[in-house]
């Protein structure tokens, strides 16, 4: 059943958030440190394990795939709810710092890609 | 009319499905017919989202009553839930291939954004260590900025600027990625992970990669989410102490 997939996804999501939250508290920061990243890693590991042992029926997987196909629509909704006006009214400091810092990070991409194993 | 809006407001999430569905349909239509699929439909849809957000308020279009459900559909809960679900398309084998570079880019991306952002703030009159660190942190992501600012006790206008920088970064990354992806060599899982780790803005990276090649989203998003974590860890601590040595 599809709901099994959604439930697996929910479990990974919640455990990841708990890990991120306790890390945040351990460092005395009012934030979630990489909860989403841990949740993703969990799902990658779980999926790897299920696949190798043939434990995940296609229908269960479809429950997760539905949510990944909802990803772009969710991002569209997210863009539509950004404080675009404030971003533009943050003044020249915000605009310049945003553009130049982004460009600096972009430029480094090809340099470091060379170091990954092909 | 008022009753009509009330129904939409009461069923906000369902109305948001309809609104986003219509935006997606029109965007993909325009992409195919007017640009011969050269500009990806997802990129157009995301840009349309940003444009209509401008006509709203603090919460973008969700500040308008009938569209309140957009805040739920595009809010952090469903956003993170769907980002995590994309991990199903990521293979552990590909992640391992990125190796130690993945960790290095996380640290380096944070440090570079922090120094560049902070220096520009310094050049424009924000010369104390707290403002330098907060503005620099904003150049990591719009979450790192306010987290650092409130940890250090920066003034609220500086925190607002740091959020604005982060939002501008995420918008810029969203729009620019599909156009520069080829030139930067972002066409395989490893470069996508390097890209996510260096640039960091989770929303920008994942939206930009979605518009470039959906298969790359999980890889970029994975490192990008750790970038925010790295920023929250380094900016209010080590990086702030270093700045303090020079600016106090």
- Rounded mean pLDDT, B141-157: 84
pLDDT of the residue at A89: 67
Q: Are residues A51 and A102 in the same domain?
A: no
**Arithmetic mean of pLDDT, A40-64:** 90
* Domain termination site, one of B20, B48, B74: B74
pLDDT at A27: 76
Predicted pLDDT at A99: 94
User: Which residue from B96, B93, B109 is spatially nearest to B197, judged by alpha carbons?
Assistant: B109
Residues in chain A closer than 8 A to B236 (CB atoms): 29
| CA-closest candidate to residue A32, choices A13, A17, A51 | A17
Between the two ends of chain B, the Cα-to-Cα distance in Å is 60
Q: Do B167 and A86 touch (CB under 8 A)?
A: yes
Instruction: Please indicate, yes or no, whether residues A101 and A72 belong to a single structural domain of this protein.
Output: no
Number of domains in chain A: 2
B96 plus B7 within the same structural domain: no
Q: B219 and B187 in one domain? A: yes
Query: pLDDT-derived band of residue A30, with 50, 70 and 90 as boundaries?
Result: low
Least confident of B27-31, B167-171, B217-221: B167-171
Best of A13, A15, A102 to disrupt the B interface (most B CBs within 10 Å) is: A102
pLDDT in tens, B39-91: 778 878 888 888 898 898 888 899 998 899 999 998 888 988 988 898 887 88
* pLDDT at A63 (0 to 100): 94
pLDDT reported for residue B185 = 92
First-to-last C-alpha distance (Å) of chain A: 38
pLDDT at position B237: 85
- Quick check: B215 contacting A, CB < 8 Å? no
For range B122-135, the mean pLDDT:
93
Q: Is the pLDDT of residue A87 over 70?
A: no
Which among A33, A67, A104 has CB closest to B112?
A: A104
Q: Residue B168 in contact with residue A87, Cβ under 8 Å? A: yes
CB contact under 8 A, A97 and B226: no
Contacting residues of A for B171, CB less than 8 Å apart: 82, 84, 87
Q: Does the residue B148 lie in any domain?
A: yes
Contact B210/A at CB under 8 A: yes
Query: Residue A54 is part of which domain span?
Result: 2-82
Region A55-80 average pLDDT = 89
Q: Is B66 in the same domain as B119?
A: no
Counting residues of chain A whose pLDDT is more than 90, the rounded percentage is 42
SS3 B121: helix
The percentage of chain B sitting over the pLDDT mark of 90, rounded to a whole number, equals 43
Residue A118 reports pLDDT greater than 60: no
Q: Rounded to an integer, what distance in angstroms lies between the CA atom of residue B201 and that of residue B207?
A: 10
The reply to whether A63 and A92 lie within a common domain is no
* Cβ separation A76–B109 shorter than 8 A: no
At B102 the pLDDT is 87
For residues A56 and A96, membership in a common domain is answered with no
ipTM of the complex: 0.87
- Determine contact, residues B181/B164, Cβ cutoff 8 Å: no
Asked if A117 and B96 count as a contact pair (C-beta separation under 8 A), the reply is no
Contact B229 A44 (CB under 8 A): no
Structural domain boundaries, residue B141: 92-247
CB A80 within 8 A of CB B74: yes
The band of A64, judged by pLDDT with boundaries at 50, 70 and 90, is very high
Of these ranges, A78-92, B175-189, B221-235, the one predicted with the greatest mean pLDDT is: B175-189
Lowest mean per-residue pLDDT among A84-98, B109-123, B133-147: A84-98
Q: What percent of chain B has pLDDT over 70?
A: 100
CB neighbours of residue B21 within 10 Å: 12
How many structural domains compose chain B?
2
pLDDT (average), residues B181-186: 92
C-alpha torsion A95→B204→A105→B185, nearest 10: -130
Residue B158's pLDDT is 85
Residues B100 and B68 both lie in one domain: no
**Does the residue B203 lie in any domain?**
yes
* pLDDT at residue B124 is higher than 60: yes
d(C-alpha A35, C-alpha A38), whole Å: 5
Q: Indicate yes or no: CB of A93 within 8 angstroms of CB of B121.
A: yes
When pLDDT is averaged across residues B237-244 and rounded to a whole number, the result is: 91
Q: Is B80 a domain residue?
A: no
Residue-level length of chain B: 248
Q: For chain B, positions 18-47, list CB contacts with chain A under 8 A.
A: 19-21, 23-24, 42, 45-47
B12 lies in some domain? yes
Give pLDDT, residue B20.
96
Does pLDDT of A39 surpass 80? Answer: yes
Inter-chain touch A71–B218, beta carbons under 8 Å:
no
Q: From the list A17, A40, A98, which residue is nearest B87 (CB)?
A: A40
Q: Do A29 and B226 touch (CB under 8 A)?
A: no
Q: Average of pLDDT values for B10-36?
A: 93
**Mean pLDDT in chain A?**
87
Q: What is the pTM of this model?
A: 0.79
End residue of a domain, out of B74, B102, B132: B74
Main-chain dihedrals φ then ψ at residue B60, nearest 5 degrees: 65, -140
Mean pLDDT for chain B overall: 89
CB contact under 8 A, B85 and A68: yes
Q: Tell me which chain A residue has its CA closest to the CA of residue B109.
A: A105
Q: Which residue has the tokens 């906000």?
A: B12
């Amino acid at each position: 059943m599809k709901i099994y997939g959604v439930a697996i996804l929910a479990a990974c999501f919640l455990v990841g958030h708990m890990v991120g939250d306790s890390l945040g508290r351990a460092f005395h920061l009012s934030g979630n440190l990489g909860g989403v990243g841990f949740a993703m890693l969990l799902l990658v590991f779980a999926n790897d394990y299920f696949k190798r042992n043939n434990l995940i029926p296609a229908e269960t997987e479809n429950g997760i795939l539905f949510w990944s196909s909802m990803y772009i629509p969710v991002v569209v909704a997210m863009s539509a709810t950004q404080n675009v006006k404030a971003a533009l009214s943050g003044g020249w400091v915000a605009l310049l710092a945003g553009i130049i810092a982004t460009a600096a990070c972009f430029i480094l991409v090809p340099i470091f890609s060379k170091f990954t194993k092909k | 009319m008022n009753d009509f809006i009330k129904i939409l407001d009461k069923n906000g999430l369902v109305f948001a499905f309809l609104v986003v569905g219509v935006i997606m349909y029109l965007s993909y239509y325009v992409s195919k017919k007017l640009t011969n699929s050269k500009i990806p439909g997802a990129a157009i849809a995301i840009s349309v989202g940003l444009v209509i957000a401008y006509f709203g308020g603090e919460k973008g279009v969700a500040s308008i009553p009938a569209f309140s459900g957009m805040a739920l559909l595009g809010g952090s809960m469903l956003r993170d839930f769907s980002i995590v679900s994309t991990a199903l398309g990521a293979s552990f084998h590909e992640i391992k291939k990125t190796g130690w570079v993945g960790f290095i880019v996380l640290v380096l991306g944070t440090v570079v954004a922090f120094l560049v952002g902070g220096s520009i703030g310094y050049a424009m009159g924000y010369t104390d260590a707290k403002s330098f660190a907060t503005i620099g942190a904003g150049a990591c992501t719009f979450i790192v900025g306010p987290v650092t600012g409130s940890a250090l006790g920066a003034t609220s206008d500086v925190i607002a600027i740091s959020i604005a920088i982060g939002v501008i970064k995420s918008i810029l990354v969203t729009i620019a990625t599909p156009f520069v992806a080829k030139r930067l060599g972002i066409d395989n899982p490893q470069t996508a992970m390097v890209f996510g780790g260096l640039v960091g803005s989770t929303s920008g990276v994942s939206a930009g990669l979605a518009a470039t090649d959906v298969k790359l989203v999980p890889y970029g998003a994975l490192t990008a989410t750790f970038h925010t974590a790295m920023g929250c860890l380094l900016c209010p601590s080590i990086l702030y102490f270093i700045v303090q040595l020079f600016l106090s």
